[in-house]
């Protein structure tokens, strides 16, 4: 599925965006119809306008009163994309305060439907790209998100480590990346012991997928958690907690979507872009790693395993050590890492961690600009001792149940030494209920914020 705008030559029906008064361009019959049907301009309200011959001549879409608070939902006008009949549509006028690019991106995102297992189509209404928007860039954003959504929505039986590798190779072939993969026992001989330990009980061999593009310029390395299914290991999850664990590779899905977006928009030109995905299944078998085990990481730090369900930070640690050995200018990790992040901020807003104040502000502002909200959290130094168990250098699951997202971020930062700057995103990767421009299911988070911020940060 490829997001698309309507062709400008199509005979597009007009859409009028309405606040509290009907637009002057409406004829008398349309005004009478709107009043008779009770159209008031309430945010998200839609009124289809019949022509004199009974055909559909246009539509009114409500924005809410000018004095009302900003819309509670992003892409509120994407409701129209889902509700309007198929065909081409154009916005007849743009009231003050309406962002044409947000409207256009929301319409593109509303076209998504996950149809791998049954027919599922998104919105069939197509919008003519508004004047002044960067249509190609918006399509690249939506296309990258569609890739991420497809990967997260696909169950582990069809998106295990081997299938994730196949997709990575396909993305690489389309966008000019070189690919290498270290798998199975080779992970031990090439010193990725924690990736191997977490994934060795899985039905498919664990692996580290590496994609590289560009030979000159500053280096950006993206590391995405690729736990294709997470049973919790021997510290097994309850059944209710396991239902969504196909999404535990959401970090990998997001960095693949982001890498595609960076290339498609030209933001990857002039930089060295590297993507690392430790792809594993955290399963249960006789050779599964155990609570109480002490693993030695690629970096040489020892890690006491106090919960086998805190496995994402283990596979990321080896991949991030490998990334840091090349001293990238920027290292970014993305992972569906902690439930603590969701307790703190809910499903819509992923926390991110970054020691550089200016860079963190740039990421936050880019999230606002590109309708991809993120929220900065602290690498809180006093909590460092919480991840130091005494018997080993690090604890993968500190007891006490407090500051879980922060302690996970502090754990990962230990393996980012060598990178110029580092940011970590603790994403959820899932839309619990359908919203404008977002179907229920897998969703991309943080990628557009990084797309907007990173070119400036790498300059």
Tokens standing for 276?
């690392």
Which tens digit of pLDDT belongs to each residue from 114-142? 999 999 889 999 999 999 999 999 999 99
Specify whether 98 is located in the same domain as 162: no
Residue 36's domain is classified under what CATH number? 3.40.220.10
pLDDT of residue 64: 81
Specify whether 400 is located in the same domain as 270: yes
Is residue 164 one of the residues assigned to a domain?
yes
Is residue 302 one of the residues assigned to a domain?
yes
Cα separation values, 433 from 88, 267, 437, 442, Å? 27, 32, 12, 11
Specify whether 338 is located in the same domain as 438: yes
Give mean pLDDT, residues 233-250.
97
Whether 69 shows a pLDDT value over 60: the answer reads: no
* Residue where a domain stops, chosen among 111, 131, 164: 111
Please compute Rg for the chain using Cα positions.
Answer: 24
Identify the active-site residue in 149, 207, 247, 313.
313
pLDDT of residue 72: 65
Specify whether 34 is located in the same domain as 156: no
Is residue 119 one of the residues assigned to a domain?
no
Specify whether 223 is located in the same domain as 107: no
In whole angstroms, what is the distance from residue 226 CA to residue 316 CA?
9
Whether 344 shows a pLDDT value over 90: the answer reads: yes
Residue 452's domain is classified under what CATH number? 3.40.630.10
Specify whether 250 is located in the same domain as 388: yes
Identify the active-site residue in 42, 237, 376, 421.
237
- Of the chain, the percentage scoring pLDDT greater than 90 comes to 87
Specify whether 180 is located in the same domain as 94: no
pLDDT of residue 71: 58
Give mean pLDDT, residues 200-221.
98
Is residue 412 one of the residues assigned to a domain?
yes
For residue 48, give its domain range.
Answer: 13-111
Specify whether 242 is located in the same domain as 377: yes
* Residue where a domain stops, chosen among 90, 111, 132: 111
Instruction: Report the number of distinct structural domains present in the chain.
Output: 2
Specify whether 103 is located in the same domain as 228: no
In whole angstroms, what is the distance from residue 405 CA to residue 274 CA?
25
Specify whether 343 is located in the same domain as 420: yes
Is residue 415 one of the residues assigned to a domain?
yes
Classify the phi-psi angles of 56: left when phi > 0, otherwise alpha if psi is within -120 to 50, otherwise beta.
beta
pLDDT of residue 67: 62
* Residue where a domain stops, chosen among 96, 111, 126: 111
Which tens digit of pLDDT belongs to each residue from 289-317? 999 999 999 999 999 999 999 999 999 99
In whole angstroms, what is the distance from residue 174 CA to residue 164 CA?
16
Is residue 121 one of the residues assigned to a domain?
no
CB 30 within 8 A of CB 59: no
Specify whether 347 is located in the same domain as 393: yes
pLDDT of residue 68: 55
pLDDT of residue 138: 98
Is residue 126 one of the residues assigned to a domain?
no
CB 423 within 8 A of CB 449: no
Active site residue 90: no
Lowest average pLDDT, out of 75-84, 175-184, 255-264, 346-355, goes to 75-84
Active site residue 313: yes
Specify whether 75 is located in the same domain as 213: no
Is residue 132 one of the residues assigned to a domain?
no
């Amino acid at each position: 599925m490829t997001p698309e705008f309507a062709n400008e030559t199509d005979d597009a029906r007009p859409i009028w965006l309405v606040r509290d008064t009907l637009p002057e361009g409406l004829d008398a019959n349309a005004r009478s119809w709107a009043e008779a049907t009770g159209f008031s301009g309430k945010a998200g309200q839609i009124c289809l306008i019949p022509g004199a011959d009974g055909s559909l001549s246009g539509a009114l879409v409500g924005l809410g009163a000018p004095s009302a608070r900003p819309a509670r939902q992003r892409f509120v006008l994407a409701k129209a994309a889902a509700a309007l009949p198929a065909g081409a549509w154009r916005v007849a006028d743009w009231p003050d305060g309406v962002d044409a690019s947000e409207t256009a991106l929301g319409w593109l995102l509303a076209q998504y439907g996950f149809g791998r297992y049954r027919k599922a189509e998104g919105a069939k209404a197509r919008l003519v790209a508004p004047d002044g928007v960067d249509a190609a860039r918006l399509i690249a954003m939506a296309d990258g998100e569609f890739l991420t959504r497809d990967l997260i929505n696909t169950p582990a039986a069809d998106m295990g480590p081997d299938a994730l590798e196949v997709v990575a190779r396909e993305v690489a072939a389309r966008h000019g990346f070189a690919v290498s993969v270290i798998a199975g026992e080779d992970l031990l001989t090439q010193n990725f012991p924690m990736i191997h330990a977490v994934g060795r009980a899985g039905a498919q061999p664990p692996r580290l997928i590496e994609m590289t593009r560009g030979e000159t310029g500053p280096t950006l390395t993206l590391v995405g958690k690729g736990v294709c299914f997470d049973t919790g290991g021997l510290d097994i999850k309850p059944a209710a907690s396991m239902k969504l664990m196909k999404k535990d590779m959401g970090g990998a899905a997001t960095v693949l979507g982001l890498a595609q977006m960076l290339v498609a928009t030209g933001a990857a030109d002039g930089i060295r872009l590297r993507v690392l995905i430790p792809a594993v299944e955290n399963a249960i078998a006789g050779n599964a790693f155990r609570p109480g085990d002490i693993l030695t990481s690629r970096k040489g730090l020892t890690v006491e395993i106090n919960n086998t369900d805190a496995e994402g930070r283990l596979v990321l640690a080896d991949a991030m050590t490998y990334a840091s050995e090349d001293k990238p200018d920027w290292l970014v990790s993305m992972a569906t890492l902690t439930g603590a992040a969701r307790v703190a901020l809910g499903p819509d807003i992923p926390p991110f961690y970054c020691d550089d104040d200016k860079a963190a502000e740039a990421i936050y502002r880019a999230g606002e600009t590109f309708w991809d909200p993120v929220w900065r959290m602290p690498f809180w130094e006093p909590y460092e001792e919480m991840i130091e168990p005494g018997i080993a250098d690090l604890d993968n699951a500190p007891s006490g149940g407090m500051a879980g997202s922060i302690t996970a971020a502090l754990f990962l930062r230990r393996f980012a030494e060598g990178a110029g700057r580092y940011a970590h995103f603790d994403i959820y990767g899932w839309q619990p209920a359908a919203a404008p421009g977002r179907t229920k299911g897998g969703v991309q988070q943080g990628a557009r914020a990084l797309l907007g911020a990173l070119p400036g940060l790498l300059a």
